[in-house]
Amino acid sequence: MSRGDLAAVHLAIRRVEEAAELAGTAYDGLASELRAFQTGVRSEAGVDDRSLAQLQREVEAELARLREQRTRTLHLLETLFTLNHHLVVAVQEQLAAGTDYAHRRAVELEEQRLIDASA
């Protein structure tokens, strides 16, 4: 790597640092404006801290209810998948038993035919 390459890398790093500093300053300014706007909107809308706290409690209660519902739904799905697995196994066992019976019956018929043919 030449000195020119190193100088270019250092310049690029310096530009990135400056851009990050400018972005941080812009973010701080926007955050300050947002806080001022929210305060103005709250006072214009007649919303006080007590109302916001009540709303926050309601939102938290709703989130808790949704989490509980999600847990119950996941448990129900797990139960359904387990039942489905047991049903598939039972059907496969019944099919295997039916196949064994059909094969055994075919063998018995073949044996009977051979007995009848030899008689």
What average pLDDT does the segment 53-72 reach? 85
Q: b or e along 78-113 (b: 16 or more beta carbons within 10 Å of the residue's beta carbon)?
A: eeeeeeeeeeeeeeeeeeeeeeeeeeeeeeeeeeee
Confidence band, pLDDT 50/70/90 cuts, at residue 2: low
Distance (Å) of CA 91 to CA 14, 28, 77, 95, 103: 71, 66, 21, 6, 18
Q: Is residue 5 part of a domain?
A: yes
Is residue 45 classed as helix, strand or coil in its secondary structure? helix
Q: Is residue 95 part of a domain?
A: no
What average pLDDT does the segment 45-63 reach? 77
Confidence band, pLDDT 50/70/90 cuts, at residue 98: confident
Tokens 């598939």 correspond to 88
Q: Is residue 79 part of a domain?
A: no
Residue-number span of the structural domain to which 2 is assigned: 1-47
Q: Is residue 116 part of a domain?
A: no
Tokens 């941080």 correspond to 24
State yes or no: pLDDT of 43 exceeds 70: no
Q: Is residue 10 part of a domain?
A: yes
Is the pTM higher than 0.85? The answer reads: no
Q: Is residue 33 part of a domain?
A: yes
Q: Is residue 89 part of a domain?
A: no
Mean pLDDT of all residues belonging to the chain: 80
Q: Is residue 14 part of a domain?
A: yes
Distance (Å) of CA 116 to CA 62, 104, 107, 108, 112: 79, 18, 14, 12, 6
What average pLDDT does the segment 46-75 reach? 81
Number of domains in the chain: 1
